[in-house]
Amino acid sequence: MSVILGIESSCDETSAAVVRDGRVVLGHVVASQHELHAEYGGVVPEIASRAHLERLLPVLRQAVGEAGVGFEDLDAVAVGNRPGLIGSLLVGVSAAQALAWSLGVPLIGIDHVQAHLYAGHLVDGEEPAAEVMAERTLGLVVSGGHTSLYDVGGPLDAEVIGRTIDDAIGEAYDKAAVILGLGFPGGPAVERCAAGGDADRYALPVSMLGRESLDFSFSGLKTALLYLVRGRPKTVAGKPVFERSSQDLGEQERADLAASFQRAAVHAVTKKIERALDRSAAGYGRLVAGGGVTANRYLRGELASVAERRDLELMIPKMIYCVDNAAMIAGLAHHRFVAGDVDGLDLAAMSTPSGAGKRKKA
Ligand code: KG4
Ligand code: ZN
């Protein structure tokens, strides 16, 4: 039995949550900063850390209040301490250190990417929860910073078997939105625009990186989309000059391009999942997915078809636990808490991933 407070501040969402026994979300608040970064077309690190500072205390109070518990009821304080923007991480880590010290409870630092893999386990209230990860589980994280496949042995044991060699899929969505003249954040904007489009109209490249690879690459897709929208650039005085701009696109043309992009991006993921399944001698029984891009309905549908075709149990987070959130941090921390594996008050914020970033030896 545990009641754990989680804090998440790795990028542009300030979030706090209270989770019981690693599964049941009692209180959960996310304050998004999208409006602050929209005019820059991407996250500005200095603005993000300042906004975390302003928002974290009200968000914490609200999450604990919603949970109907007091600070004295908390068994531990967990915080996403890596990877992410260092200034943003520091705000969450400092708050967690202060709280853990003042309450006299353990502090637990959680790898944000591992937490994305765990988010599918979270439930609200007393609804039934699936069993915590089975032995043979294939993991997928698709976010703004990661596109990786994992061999998952348990909540705290995930080894990378494939990863992107350039952009992450969420980053590709964000760049596609800029190329198509859509808003920020790009993923939801591209998805909305693609809803009215014909995905068959443009054949965009799906990069397989050779016969054996489980890695991903999205930079060719991004460039192909750019050239379709703006024409091939000519070099004038050492600088690329394009024939057209995104403003020249007709509404239907833009929707068709968004739909064709989305299909190529998602197929790059599902094809590698199928390859990982084909290559696995023992066979996977479960697919767990997480990260911001799992909020995409087209991807969710395609993952559900793969799971059905290959007879896999699919665990995918509820929509609210796909993008960055503190519930997944508090949930995963339970498994370290019950194992007595906690951190000291000198826990550091780190921009690099931990175990979830290690590649499995061939
Ligand atoms: O997991 P996340 O919130 O942050 C990181 O850890 O990176 O993921 C954010 C990414 C962004 O690139 C965003 O554009 C993408 O997830 N995203 C989506 C959708 N919602 C968020 N991409 C495609 N379709 C969506 N509906
Ligand atoms: Zn994330």
pLDDT digits (tens, 9 = 90+) for 42-72: 889 999 999 999 999 999 999 999 999 999 9
Q: What is the mean pLDDT of residues 34-40?
A: 89
| Order of strands, sheet of 76-82, starting from the edge strand that comes earlier in the sequence | 107-111, 76-82, 3-8, 13-20, 24-32, 123-124
Q: What is the mean pLDDT of residues 293-317?
A: 97
DSSP 271-340: HHHHHHHHH-SS--SEEEEESGGGG-HHHHHHHHHHHHHTT-EEE---GGGTSS-SHHHHHHHHHHHHTT
What band does 357 get if pLDDT is binned at 50, 70 and 90? low
Residue 296 in marked binding region: yes
Gyration radius from the chain CA atoms:
21
Residue 143 in marked binding region: yes
pLDDT > 70: what percent of the chain? Answer: 96
Q: What's the pLDDT score for residue 134?
A: 60
Residue 135, pLDDT > 70, answer no
Give yes or no for a contact between 230 and 241, defined as CB atoms under 8 angstroms apart: no
> 95-133, pLDDT tens digit by residue?
999 999 999 999 999 999 999 999 999 999 777 766 776
Q: What's the pLDDT score for residue 42?
A: 84
Helix 86-103 and helix 45-67: axis angle, to 10°? 30
Mark out the alpha helices in 79-163 (DSSP H runs). 86-103, 112-118
> 233-277, pLDDT tens digit by residue?
999 999 989 999 999 999 999 999 999 999 999 999 999 999 999
Q: How far is the CA of 340 from the centre of ligand 1 (A)?
A: 33
What band does 360 get if pLDDT is binned at 50, 70 and 90? low
CA-closest residue to ligand 1 atom 16: 292
Q: What's the pLDDT score for residue 362?
A: 46
Q: What is the mean pLDDT of residues 172-192?
A: 95
Ligand 1 test: best mutation among 8, 85, 143, most atoms within 8 Å of CB? 143
Query: In the numeric block, which tokens belong to residue 289?
Result: 């997915």
pLDDT > 90: what percent of the chain? Answer: 88
Q: Confirm whether 3-122+320-361 and 137-316 share one CATH topology.
A: yes
Q: What is the mean pLDDT of residues 204-223?
A: 95
Cis, peptide link before residue 205, omega less than 30° from 0: no
Three-class DSSP category at 139: strand
List, chain by chain if needed, residues with CB within 6 Å of any ligand 1 atom: 11, 143-145, 170-171, 173-174, 185-188, 191, 291-293, 295-296, 323-324
> 75-99, pLDDT tens digit by residue?
999 999 999 999 999 999 999 999 9
Domain 137-316 has CATH 3.30.70.60: no
Query: In the numeric block, which tokens belong to residue 205?
Result: 């490249």
Q: Which CATH number fits domain 3-122+320-361: 1.10.3720.10, 3.40.50.920, 3.40.47.10, 3.30.420.40?
A: 3.30.420.40
Task: Name, in order, each residue with C-beta under 8 angstroms of 2's C-beta and a sequence gap of 6 or more.
Answer: 20, 21, 22, 75, 76, 334, 337, 338
Task: Name, in order, each residue with C-beta under 8 angstroms of 348's C-beta and a sequence gap of 6 or more.
Answer: 81, 93, 109
CB count, 10 Å around CB of 194?
25
Q: Where are the domains of the chain?
A: 3-122+320-361, 137-316
What band does 283 get if pLDDT is binned at 50, 70 and 90? confident
Q: How far is the CA of 19 from the centre of ligand 1 (A)?
A: 23
Query: In the numeric block, which tokens belong to residue 15?
Result: 């979030």
Task: Name, in order, each residue with C-beta under 8 angstroms of 321's C-beta and a sequence gap of 6 or more.
Answer: 119, 120, 122, 290, 327, 328
Q: How far is the CA of 75 from the centre of ligand 2 (A)?
A: 25
361 or 344, which is more confident?
Answer: 344
What's this model's pTM, rounded to 2 decimal places?
0.95
